[in-house]
Structure formats: structure tokens, C-alpha cells
Amino acid sequence: MPLTHPELERLYDAHASGLFHYLVTFTKTEADAHDLLQDLFIRLARLDELNTLQNEKAFVFRLAHNIAIDWLRRRKVRWDSEERLIKELDGGVQAATDPDTEVLARHFASAMQSLPEEQRTIAQLKLWDGLTFEEIAQAQNIPLNTAASRYRYALDKLRTHLRPIYEELK
């Protein structure tokens, strides 16, 4: 059975925020991420049925991952968009946070940008969206051990970047 309108609405409410954030890590711009999110929901709507054997969250993130990879292949825009994202994130610390957290958050954002893409996307799925390694492995179509080891490498690099400032602020 194809997805009904209420089911599409439920999927949107449950996952759109995380999917959009994930798509932005590839597109670097919110406008492009919006287009990919639209594309993703059109693909969901065209499905004959949602694969109930798979984890729903992992399934929609996998669809997002595939759409983003296709988009990257079509558009080779990584070079200038990297700079744009750093600028966006520089101004992206929320004002209500205390000064120490703000400093740490800025360094964290900068450290995230220094990670290779395959580590950054996994760190984001784990830290922001709370996906398990199994869900990440399904979403990115990689072995479970690869997902776990990439995350471990990402944490090590983040720790190396953040340790000096963390020690200073403590």
C-alpha cells in the first residue's frame, strides 16, 4: 500500500528536522537542502510501500544520504561552499548561552568542519540526531564496524582540537 497523506505528514513531523540538518552538511546551503528535502518527500510519496522490515529512521536517512550523494555528483560545489558554511556556523552560536559555552561551541563547530566528510556526517548523526551505529550503518550503507570506527576517529580529532580550550575554561 502506498503512503497515505497522514502517513506522509507523520514522517515529515518525525524526521524532517533531522533530515534537513543532515542534508545541509552536504549541500552547505539551506536553499539546496530545501530542494533535496522536497525531492526526498516526493520519493517517499511515490513508494509503493514503506519497507517495514527496515528501521524507519535508518530508511529515511539512507534515502537522504543517497539523494545527497547524487546531488554532490551532479554539482561539484564543495570548494566554495565549505567557506560559506564556516561563515554560517561562525555566526551560528545561540545568543542565550553563557560565554564559556559559547567559546567552546564555536571551537566545536570549527573542529567539526575540520573533520573529513565521512567522519563529520557520522558524528552529526550520532551527536545531533541520536542515531545508533546500526542505524548509521544502514543509512550510509556501510558496515557497522566502519560506522563505529569512523565515529571513534572523529571523537579523537574533536578531543585533540578542543582539549586546549576546554582545559583553559575549566
Partner 1 sequence: MNDDDFEKKLQSLTSALHRPDPTPAWRADILARAMREADVAHPKRSLMPPRWLVVTWGTAWAAIVLLNLATPQTSTPAAWPQAIATTQDANAPASKTLLAYNRQLNLSLDLP
User: Grid coordinates standing for 80?
Assistant: 566554495
In this structure, what C-alpha cell is assigned to residue 13? Answer: 513531523
Mention every residue, 6+ apart, whose C-beta is less than 8 A from residue 51. Answer: 59
77 binds partner 1 (CB under 8 A): no
Q: Cell 514522517 identifies what position?
A: 11
Q: Which is nearer to partner 1, 55 or 166 (CB)?
A: 166
Among 26, 33, 57, 137, binds partner 1 (CB under 8 A): 33
Q: Which of 63, 64, 67, 104 binds partner 1 (CB under 8 A)?
A: 104
Residue 165 makes contact with partner 1 by CB under 8 A: no
Q: For the CB of residue 28, give the shortest distance to partner 1 in the complex, in Å.
A: 10
List b or e across 6-31, with b for residues whose CB sees 16 or more CB atoms inside 10 angstroms.
eeeeebeeebeebbbebbbbbbbeee
Q: How far is the CB of 7 from partner 1 (least distance, A)?
A: 10
> What is the C-alpha R_g of the chain?
17
Name the site residues for partner 1 (rule: CB under 8 A). 2-3, 5, 8-9, 12, 16-17, 20-21, 24, 30, 33-34, 37-38, 41-42, 44-46, 48, 88-89, 91-94, 97, 101-102, 104-105, 108-109, 127-128, 155, 158-159, 166
